[in-house]
Amino acid sequence: MHWYVDVLKKYAVFSGRARRQEYWMFTLFSLIISIVLTILDNALDINFLAGIYALAVLVPSLAVGVRRLHDTSRSGWWLLLVLIPFVGAIVLIVFFAIEGKPEANEYGPNPKHAPAV
């Protein structure tokens, strides 16, 4: 759960690097919360809880995605590939899934080997 909270603490931090685990655990928790809120929306016959949550985590989702791309030595602008139907999403999933560069890059030191703050 701390992976999810850590991303929220870095709400709009687009600099630095994010490990695969940080990105995917945030994505997993976010998906689970979205599913639960959608079920609640349908059960209570209201249709705004999931939408409010999606808006609330939009900026942190973009920020952790950019930091994940930085870990693979790619610019955050690669995130715009999501605008290309199907192919863009597949390419981004591959970028998010590959291991980050083990050495420091222009975006900072490797977060996997960085000392805990």
Q: How far apart are the first and last CA of the chain?
A: 18
- pLDDT of 89 reads 93
- CA–CA dist 72, 101 (Å, integer): 6
Q: Which residues partner with 108 through β-bridges? A: 105
Q: Find out whether 71 and 18 touch, Cβ atoms under 8 Å.
A: yes
Number of domains within the chain: 1
Q: What residues in the chain have per-residue pLDDT under 50?
A: none
46 domain-assigned: yes
44 domain-assigned: yes
Nearest partner of 95 among 77, 112, 109, judged by Cα: 77
**Tens digit of pLDDT for each residue in 13-42?**
999 999 999 999 999 999 999 999 999 999
Q: Find out whether 17 and 107 touch, Cβ atoms under 8 Å.
A: yes
- pLDDT of 1 reads 77
Domain with 76, as residue range(s), is 2-97
- pLDDT of 112 reads 80
